[in-house]
Copies of this chain bind each other. A is one copy, B any other.
Amino acid sequence: MAEYAGVSRSVASRALNNAPHVSRAKREAVERAVRHLGYVPNSTARALATRQTGAAALVVSGEDPSIFADPFFAQVIVGASGALEEADLHLMLCLAASDRGRKRVGELLRSKGADGVMLMALREGDPLIRMAEEAEMPVVFGGRPVGPAPRWYVDVDNVGGAREATEYLVSRGRTRVAAICGRLDTEAGRARYRGYRDAMLAAGLDPFPPQEGDFTESSGAAAMAVLLAAHPDLDGVFAANDNMGAGALRTLREAGRPVPADIAVVGFDDLAVARIADPPLTTVHQPITAFGREMARMLVALVNGQDPTPLILPTRLVIRSSA
């Protein structure tokens, strides 16, 4: 390429990266050569020389890859992908479900296979947490893990959202409100239960003990069945996400308990399923795409040597007909 343009490789390199110290003439010669030869610099070689891979990884943890089927992640990815595109970084996606998968993430971190990493869906004691700490690479957490908050993260106001949902239920006259909560080994699961609990206490009502699900529709249905059997006089349910809310709705329908007349239900997430559910689910909206976008932006800032501050995104109650 350089020889075709009649310049040295140095000049060619500078011209390609439009760096200074290249005369207009040579710059054009290089440009012409590039066009003529269809030359595209080899990204690996460039990565080796610059010590930058030009890629950021998004890792989704979980003991089962199917966790990723939750449409939540798709939206996060849309946001993250957009922000990375702006910074001209590629997105590597790691579904760290198996031990093998986690090991590969560890190697990615240590072999400098990416310029930075976004970590999501960590459970308590997840080995990725330590790996992240040891990594010599920017790491931003999507959602705080259980335990001490990491240096950089983006999260959603889970406590506030859950509180608002519960307050709404209470404000509509519901007094026997149970909580179908998410996995309690995740911070989101715990925080949403806390929000529920706070609101109940503040209203002078007795919070129910956590009825744990795992964020899936079927677990929500099962949890609802348990609650119904134990407390036939329930008049409200706060589900820690929409999938479980939809499951609860299904159980209630099968049990012949009209919603919201008999029992009101509110979910969390505001995914498509909330709109499609029957009746449409009142739910706590969280800005999922923005979540992904901010996570990526924070990572980009870190990669560029800045020191961004953690971010907590607001939620907002969306009222439909289930409550």
State the CA gap A242–B100 with chains docked (Å).
34
Contact yes or no, B73 A69, CB < 8 A: no
Q: Which of B47, B69, B77, B78 contacts A44 (CB 8 A)?
A: B47
Taking a contact as CB atoms under 8 Å apart, the answer to whether B95 and A93 are in contact is: no
Contact A74 B69, beta carbon cutoff 8 Å:
yes
Contacts A92-B93, A100-B85, A104-B85 known; A42 to B112 CB distance under 8 Å?
Answer: yes
Kindly state whether residue A170 has any CB partner on chain B within 8 Å: no
Nearest CB in chain B to that of A41: its residue? B111
Closest partner residue, chain B, to A273 (CB atom) = B276
The answer to whether residues A92 and B277 also contact, given A42-B111, A48-B44, A85-B100 and a CB cut-off of 8 A, is no
Nearest CB in chain B: distance from A174 CB, A: 24
CB distance A93 to B94 under 8 Å? no
Q: Does A26 contact B (CB under 8 A)?
A: no
Copies in the complex: 2
What is the distance, in angstroms, from A256's C-beta to the closest C-beta of chain B? 15
The answer to the question of A230 belonging to the interface, with a C-beta cut-off of 8 Å to chain B, is no
Instruction: Report the separation of the CA atoms of residues A259 and B121 in the bound assembly, to the nearest whole angstrom.
Output: 39
In the complex, the answer to whether A43 meets B113 with C-beta atoms within 8 Å is yes
| Chain B hits for A91, CB < 8 A | 92-94
Apart from the given pairs A44-B47, A44-B113, A69-B74, 20 other A-B contacts in the complex at a CB distance below 8 Å: A38-B110, A40-B107, A41-B111, A42-B112, A44-B51, A48-B48, A65-B81, A65-B82, A66-B78, A68-B78, A69-B272, A70-B74, A77-B93, A78-B95, A81-B95, A82-B95, A90-B92, A90-B113, A91-B94, A276-B277
| A residues at B contact (CB < 8 Å) | 38, 40-45, 47-48, 51, 53-55, 65-66, 68-71, 73-75, 77-78, 81-82, 85, 88, 90-95, 98, 100-101, 104, 107-108, 110-113, 217, 246, 250, 272-273, 276-278
